[in-house]
Structure 1
Amino acid sequence: SLFGRVDQGGDLVARGAYGTSLAAAEAAGRRIKMLWQHDPAQPIGVWDELREDARGLWVKGRLLDSVARGREAAALIEAGAIDGLSIGYRTQRAAKNDAGQRVLQTLDLWEVSLVTFPMLPTARIAAKGDFIAIGDVLRGMAGVFDEARRNLKRNGG
């Protein structure tokens, strides 16, 4: 779920829409569910981390290989057949903007599903190998600074 992006239903989620729900779930010790295609009878894993970042709702989870559908989902993700995410929620507060779109201001988040066709086409899965380790980022930054230092020396700086 990305903030400020209009989904195929004409809705967009406002920054901060998940804050209350995530805090309440944490306080109650309640987990947001990971489902297959929004089917409450098919939990396939667990979300270990859920938070809002600058872009939207950020989730990190694990598919359960002890669950048949979890194994299937992992295989489908690996093959590129499934790559969408979609949220299940109840709207607590919304308003229309000047463009006539419904702006979801406060949501009660129930679940985040792996889906074939997300309502927000840019809501996608990043597999484990798609993440860059922080050490790699820091090494890359150090290389940029080293190169800049060499250029300054070369140019009399």
Structure 2
Amino acid sequence: MAGAGRIPIDADGRFSGYASLFNTLDAGGDMVMSGAFSASLAKRRGRIRLLFQHDPKEPVGIWESLGEDARGLFVSGRLVPGVPRADAIRRLIESRAIDGLSIGFRTVKATKQGGHRKLWTIDLFEISIVTFPMLEDARIAASADHSTGAAIAAAISVLRNP
């Protein structure tokens, strides 16, 4: 959850956080493995949608940078001002009423182990702001300065996808 002293969204509607964490089991029994996003990030550059609650009728912003690091998929986005749902979400994030992130994807390569799926390659097509993420720690970060996180995600994305 967001830290007590920091607002997780800036004055321009920018926010960042981890949309997925590697080697971490989610509530549906899936575990995303390191590198699972790399092909999709290269293929869908600039076309991964920012939605609310995975609803394709609810685009609320744009992803400014997405990139894998050692921990997971770090993302930085911006809510579009003037979109009624985006404006409402911004107020909810500011008040810490909502902070979940969740990925929408198609499985490309997975293995089963102990009743769980290990996702080795996935086709990512959207990341949503959600009330209840399947992965408990997939959250908007509690940071007042999102430019550093955005720069890190952009650098990671460029390094992985020249």
TM over 0.5: yes
Q: Which runs of 4+ in 1 moved over 6 A?
A: none
- Specify the alignment match of 2:116 in structure 1: 101
TM-score calculated relative to the size of structure 1: 0.78
Give matches, 1:40-59, under 5 Å: 40-59=56-75
Give matches, 1:73-152, under 5 Å: 73-97=89-113, 99-129=114-144
**Where is the strand percentage greater, Structure 1 or Structure 2?**
2
Pairwise CA distance, 1:96: 1.1
**Where is the helix percentage greater, Structure 1 or Structure 2?**
1
Give matches, 1:4-19, under 5 Å: 4-19=23-38
Pairwise CA distance, 1:101: 1.3
Aligned-partner SS, 1:65: coil
Structure 2 unmatched ranges of 5 or more = 1-19, 150-162
Q: Tell me the C-alpha RMSD between the 2 structures.
A: 1.7
Relative contact order higher in (CA < 8 Å, ≥ 6 apart): 2
The amino acid across from 1:48 in the alignment is: E
Structure 1 unmatched ranges of 5 or more = 135-157
Aligned-partner SS, 1:15: coil
CA distance in 1, matches of 2:148, 2:110: 38
The amino acid across from 2:36 in the alignment is: A
Larger-Rg structure: 1
Give the number of aligned pairs. Answer: 130
CA distance in 2, matches of 1:132, 1:23: 22
CA distance in 1, matches of 2:100, 2:137: 8
CA distance in 2, matches of 1:133, 1:91: 31
TM-score calculated relative to the size of structure 2: 0.76
CA distance in 2, matches of 1:130, 1:80: 16
- Specify the alignment match of 2:43 in structure 1: 24
Pairwise CA distance, 1:127: 5.0
